[in-house]
Amino acid sequence: MSGGRALASQGVRAVPSLMYLERQPNFSIGPDDAENETAAAPLPSGAPAIAVKSAQNTAQSAQNLVPQGGLFWDGRVNTLQGQALEPLLNPLEMDGGSVERVARRLRSAPYAARFTQLFGPQIFDRADNAVAEALFAVARYQIEDPSFHPYSSKYDAWLEGKARFSPAEARGYVLFRDPGGANCAACHLDRPDANGLPPLLTDHQFEALGVPRNMALASNRNPRSFDLGICGPVRTDMKHATPYCGMFLTPTLRNVATRHAYFHNGVYHTLRQVLDFYDFRSTRPQRIYSHGAIDDLPAAYRANLDTADAPFDRTPAQGPPLTASQERDIIAFLQTLTDGYRPGR
Ligand code: HEC
């Protein structure tokens, strides 16, 4: 999708979902709390073994400090208000110009009278107050309206014992959790949390997966330009945090089958392509990268690449962890994460 003044500007990243952010932790760099997660509530009986995440050989694992939380692909803001402000002002998106200009727009909007009713007659006296209240209203809407977090997928029904997996979904679920194979659940957590709340299908941590460069992005025409996630250039406060360059936030997989652009740079458009990436990145790199090797992470940061967690710990000699039909089974499972399931379908 295009934005900007003439609706002709291309963004630099895939648009992350606004759903399921109501439990997103703030950005922090701290101890890997995966151990606490395994103390979470049990799965229904018959569920396969837990997938594991090791992160042994990455540069930051000496202290085992991992970045986690925050919003956007690089965790650069913590609040939904801060999140909502950026597209309003971003010249490549809504191009609002300035807080003053956005406030003038609010003042002449059809709902301006209701806005004054709600926030008081002085609300438009100061542009920053008016915009802050508008952003607060948007954030409350996202928190309070159940449509942003319905937890109504087949997988939720299955967790509650109210649905059965098809044979393909059941096979896919076993593979999703297989610690020596696809290992998806190591990062895309699939169990209710310690408070018994339904899983968000993310551990909220950052990883450098080495996703291939998206040559369709105008910003990538310059061979010296790289999107380094936490290190910028979009995020600007952690430019020198080299152990985290190339890392992006693990997104939720809820409703993932309804999305059209995958990974931070939107390089893939089908789940089949995503599954091929996990299957072949380490085992058949020539099938993933146009020149046969990692192409969107400068050599200086290659040590940050995740080569420890399955399936990325495999060698070409060991071969891909999944067959084509196993990839299809995992996709069948991912489709159970789409909201709006009605029993009997
Ligand atoms: C080591 C942690 C880790 C493992 C293991 C892992 N993922 Fe991911 N996943 C991530 C991260 C991090 C991203 C975002 C990477 C980026 O955009 O650069 C991601 C992104 C995705 C996306 C794109 C979602 C979107 O909205 O763009 C899909 C789909 C996905 N993973 C599915 C899977 C599946 C299926 C498996 C198992 C085969 C798996 N993941 C294993 C960490 C992991």
On whether both 250 and 296 belong to a single domain, the answer is yes
- Positive or negative CA dihedral for 206, 209, 210, 216? negative
On whether both 193 and 273 belong to a single domain, the answer is yes
Query: From CA 124, how far away is CA 113, in angstroms rounded?
Result: 11
Q: What is the CATH number of the domain that holds 28?
A: 1.10.760.10
Ligand 1, atom nearest to 274 Cα: 29
Does the residue 12 lie in any domain? no
**Residue 49 pLDDT more than 60?**
no
Q: Whose CA is nearest to atom 12 of ligand 1?
A: 250
**Residue 40 pLDDT more than 80?**
no
127, 148, 169: which is the final residue of a domain? 148
Query: From CA 73, how far away is CA 229, in angstroms rounded?
Result: 7
Residue 39's pLDDT is 39
Do the beta carbons of residue 25 and residue 204 sit within 8 Å?
A: yes
| pTM of structure | 0.91
On whether both 139 and 239 belong to a single domain, the answer is no
pLDDT confidence of 345, banded at 50, 70, 90? low
Query: Token pair 């952690």 is at which residue?
Result: 238
Ligand 1, atom nearest to 259 Cα: 26
Instruction: Count Cβ neighbours within 10 Å for each residue of 146-159 and write b for 16 or more, e otherwise.
Output: eebbbbebbbbbbb
Q: Whose CA is nearest to atom 37 of ligand 1?
A: 184
On whether both 42 and 170 belong to a single domain, the answer is yes
User: What value does the mean pLDDT of the chain take?
Assistant: 89
Ligand 1 binding pocket mutation candidate from 171, 176, 184, 258 (most atoms within 8 A of CB): 184
| Percent of the chain residues topping a pLDDT of 90 | 77
**Which tens digit of pLDDT belongs to each residue from 125-145?**
999 999 999 999 999 999 999
Residue 58's pLDDT is 53
**Which tens digit of pLDDT belongs to each residue from 293-304?**
999 999 999 999
Domain count across the chain = 2
Residue 210: name the closest of 282, 270, 275, 283 by CA: 282
Domain that holds residue 202: 24-78+151-345
**Ligand 1 residue neighbourhood (C-beta within 6 Å):** 14, 182-184, 186-188, 207, 209, 211, 248, 250-251, 253, 256, 259, 262-264, 274, 278, 306, 309, 330
148, 177, 203: which is the final residue of a domain? 148
On whether both 37 and 104 belong to a single domain, the answer is no
On whether both 305 and 321 belong to a single domain, the answer is yes
Q: Whose CA is nearest to atom 36 of ligand 1?
A: 184
